[in-house]
C-alpha cells in the first residue's frame, strides 16, 4: 500500500510528532472532563497519545499498517491505553465503539480522498459522533496540481457535512511545512 511505503521510507513530512495548538485548545476548552475521541487518519499516533494522556478514551484509525504499528509502540512507551485500528476511513464502521464519540479530529487525511471517498467518510463520521460533539478538521485549500484540483474548499466541507454537522468556525492560514493555503474547520454535530 502506498501509505505504508511513505512510512517505511520515513517520507512523512505531515508527521511532525507535535500536537497542534488547535487540538490542544479544543481538548482543553470544550472537554474539561475529557470524553471519547476519534482520530481519523491518525498516522503514528501523536494526537491519540496526547488525548489519552488527558484521560480521553481514544480510537485512532489509519490505512497504513506501518503507521499503526508505530502508533501502538508510541502508546505503549507513553503508558497509555487506546484503540488503534488499521482501516479505510471512507468506510468507517457504523459502530467504531460501543458509544459515539464526543470529539473527532482529522489532520490532513480528508483532503487526500476522492470525491466519492469524501461523501462516504462524511456519512460514516455522522453515524459515529454524538449530538453536540465536535469535529476538528485540518485540510489544504484547493489548488491545481498536475491537471487536477487537490484540496478541499470551505463550501465543499459545509456541503458534505450538512446532513449532520454545522460549521462553527473556519480559520484559514498557511501550512508551515509546505507553505500551502490551509484551514482549520470546527464543526458541531446536530
pLDDT digit string (tens) for 84-104?
999 999 998 765 767 899 999
The answer to whether residue 42 is domain-embedded is yes
CATH at residue 178: 3.40.50.150
The answer to whether residue 17 is domain-embedded is no
| Total domains in the fold of the chain | 1
The answer to whether residue 176 is domain-embedded is yes
Q: What pTM did the predictor assign? A: 0.90
The answer to whether residue 173 is domain-embedded is yes
The answer to whether residue 15 is domain-embedded is no
The label of the residue with cell 484503540 reads: 83
The answer to whether residue 141 is domain-embedded is yes
Sign of the four-CA dihedral 31, 35, 36, 39: positive
The answer to whether residue 16 is domain-embedded is no
Domain range enclosing 116: 2-10+22-189
Looking at the DSSP bridge assignments, the partners of residue 123 are none
pLDDT digit string (tens) for 3-48?
666 555 676 656 777 999 999 999 999 998 999 999 999 999 999 9
Measured at the CA of 185, the angle between CA 110 and CA 149, to 5 degrees, comes to 45
Amino acid at each position: 500500500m502506498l501509505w505504508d511505503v511513505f512510512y517505511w521510507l520515513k517520507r512523512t513530512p505531515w508527521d511532525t510528532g507535535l500536537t497542534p495548538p488547535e487540538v490542544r485548545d479544543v481538548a482543553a476548552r470544550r472537554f474539561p472532563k475529557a470524553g471519547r475521541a476519534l482520530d481519523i487518519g491518525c498516522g503514528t499516533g501523536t494526537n491519540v497519545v496526547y488525548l489519552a494522556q488527558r484521560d480521553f478514551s481514544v480510537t485512532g484509525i489509519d490505512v497504513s499498517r506501518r503507521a499503526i504499528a508505530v502508533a501502538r509502540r508510541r502508546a505503549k512507551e507513553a503508558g497509555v491505553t487506546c484503540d488503534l485500528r488499521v482501516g479505510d476511513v471512507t468506510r468507517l464502521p457504523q459502530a467504531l465503539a460501543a458509544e459515539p464519540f464526543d470529539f473527532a479530529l482529522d489532520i490532513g487525511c480528508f483532503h487526500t480522498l476522492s470525491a466519492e471517498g469524501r461523501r462516504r467518510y462524511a456519512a460514516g463520521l455522522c453515524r459515529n459522533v454524538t449530538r453536540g460533539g465536535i469535529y476538528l478538521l485540518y485540510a489544504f485549500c484547493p489548488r491545481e496540481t498536475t491537471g487536477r484540483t487537490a484540496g478541499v474548499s470551505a463550501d465543499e466541507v459545509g456541503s458534505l457535512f450538512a446532513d449532520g454537522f454545522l460549521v462553527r468556525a473556519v480559520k484559514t492560514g498557511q501550512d508551515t511545512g509546505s507553505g500551502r493555503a490551509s484551514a482549520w474547520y470546527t464543526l458541531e454535530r446536530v
